[in-house]
């Protein structure tokens, strides 16, 4: 769920910024992440940390 955007819980695919390592994540991991919206209105994961 992304409360700041009014999005309910869901599964979505996002582009990931260069330098963000998602290789050690597995389905079901809980994470904190930062999304940024580009000039093209597409959201990208800018940072991510595993909880």
Structural domain of 37: 3-50
For 13-48, how does the pLDDT look when each residue is reduced to its tens digit (9 = 90+)?
Answer: 999 999 999 999 999 999 999 999 999 999 999 999
Per the structure, how many domains does the chain have? 1
The whole-angstrom separation of Cα 46 and Cα 51 is 16
The pLDDT value given to residue 11: 87
Which DSSP string do the residues of 21-50 spell out, in sequence order? --TT--TT--EEEEEEE-TTS-EEEEEEEE
The whole-angstrom separation of Cα 45 and Cα 25 is 14
- Phi and psi angles of residue 4, each rounded to the nearest 5 degrees, phi first: -60, -25
The pLDDT value given to residue 1: 79
């Amino acid at each position: 769920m992304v409360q700041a955007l009014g999005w309910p819980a869901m599964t979505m695919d996002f582009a990931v910024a260069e330098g963000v390592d998602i290789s050690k994540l597995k389905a079901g991991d809980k994470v904190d992440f930062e999304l940024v919206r580009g000039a093209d209105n597409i959201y990208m994961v800018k940072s991510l940390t595993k909880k």
